[in-house]
Amino acid sequence: MFMQIVSTLGIVIVSLSLAYYIYSYFCVGEFFSRKDESFGSPDFSLYPVSILKPLKKAFPGWKSNLETFCKQNYPEYEIVVGTSDVSDPALQQVIDELNWCPIRLAETTHNPGPNFKVGNLVSAASIARYDIFAISDADTRVSPKYLKNVVSTLLEKDVGLVTCLYKGVDCKTFPARLEALVVQTDFIPGVLVAEKSGAVKFAFGATIALRKSTLESIGGFEVLYPYLADDYQLGNRVARIGLKVMIADEIVEHVVGERRWADFFRQQLRWAVTCRVCQPVGYFFSVLSHGVSLATLTLFVNSHAKISFLLWVASLGIRYLTCFKVNSKYLKNQEVKSVLWILPFKDFFSTFIWAASFFVDKVYWAGNYFRVNRDGTMEPLK
């Protein structure tokens, strides 16, 4: 009797996962279809922008990333790089080579941490000239129409913050391509399902745009010092004061670059723990997005062998079909295409990480270990 109940419950859960795969595919399709719609453009000359770039240290490829922000089809903007080492020769070389671009450096002389990225944002904001901030991580690349798309969304009624989806590019190792695969097959569909349900109360470091007045109304960047997920906190705090958090019709590029297996594992576990502490209920029920793993488990424990097998085949087939179609029709990422064959094994790994995150409170980030508390704050570990 007990096993029959378990079998029936397994079938119901896997069926819900199948429905999620199909629904998330249509959410992705709807997002990309609206990119083709035409709207009237505001007078962007009235809305100059300060692009804030927090930087720990200049790295190979940073110039290429930064240069994409220098080539914006936008009338007036500046780029402010916040860093603790403005005398770094590698940094100075990039600034000299991009001397045609409106870049300024802001030196971080006080940075209490433990989130030192926040200190660099505080420094950059302190010398920013304009009232609209566009924050973007150093490993991000954008198109020439990036600022126009982001600012036009920010100018919509009751919008307090705008963020962007991203895809992984320039993946130099197999683990790097797996990271891009996770972003494309799990992260993007999950975010767009949340958007469809009106539950966007978060943001991503690839892009966060908001007005200076909005930032001040939530306490400024300074309130983010103790938090691991500074981007989530910004989006959540803006939503809590009654303003909308919107996803712009713009996909930016996250340059993954080199990744070792250890890097990949640590990054996935950190991401999972961060999601768990930020949205514990939603994260628990995100297990429904692990359809292939759930179907495989049900196949082994279910007394309804024929139904379980059909659900397993359907889960695997729909998962492959939707992920392949999203890539070939919308994202067109050749680096992800090269590793789509490993998708079921990636799904098993993701389910393992999901389960492990409930028993872990220690993460590795930016060369250091931290303990993550239930409220999302973190403490450095020696």
> What pLDDT digit, counting tens, does each position of 53-73 carry?
999 999 999 999 999 999 999
Whether residue 114 is preceded by a cis peptide bond, meaning omega within 30 degrees of 0, is: yes
Please answer whether residues 382 and 372 qualify as being in contact, where contact means their C-beta atoms are separated by less than 8 angstroms: no
**pLDDT tens figures, 277-320:** 999 999 999 999 999 999 999 988 876 688 889 999 999 999 99
What whole-number percentage of the chain has pLDDT above 70? 97
Beta-ladder partners of 380: 370
Would you state the pLDDT for residue 300?
85
The pLDDT of residue 37 is above 60: no
Would you state the pLDDT for residue 302?
73
Please answer whether residues 217 and 241 qualify as being in contact, where contact means their C-beta atoms are separated by less than 8 angstroms: yes
**Phi, psi of 170, rounded to the nearest 5 degrees:** 55, 50
What is the band of 147 on the pLDDT scale with cuts at 50, 70, 90? Answer: very high
Comparing C-alpha atoms, which of 160, 151, 141 is closest to residue 61? 141
The pLDDT of residue 90 is above 50: yes
User: What is the average pLDDT across 133-152?
Assistant: 97
What is the band of 126 on the pLDDT scale with cuts at 50, 70, 90? Answer: very high
The pLDDT of residue 227 is above 60: yes
The pLDDT of residue 240 is above 80: yes
> Could you tell me which residues come within 8 angstroms of residue 37 by beta carbon, excluding any fewer than 6 positions away?
none
Strand 140-141, strand 77-83: pairing: unpaired
149: tokens are 């798309």
What is the band of 38 on the pLDDT scale with cuts at 50, 70, 90? Answer: very low
Angstrom distance (rounded) from CA 260 to CA 129: 40
Comparing C-alpha atoms, which of 194, 168, 189 is closest to residue 335? 168
The pLDDT of residue 17 is above 50: yes
Would you state the pLDDT for residue 35?
63
Please give the span between the terminal C-alpha atoms of the chain, in angstroms, as a whole number. Answer: 52
Helix count (H) and strand count (E) of the chain? 15, 11
Would you state the pLDDT for residue 40?
60
Angstrom distance (rounded) from CA 339 to CA 353: 19
The pLDDT of residue 249 is above 90: yes
What is the band of 234 on the pLDDT scale with cuts at 50, 70, 90? Answer: very high
The model's pTM: 0.94
Q: Domains along the chain?
A: 2-31+280-380 (no CATH), 38-258 (3.90.550.10)
Angstrom distance (rounded) from CA 173 to CA 191: 26
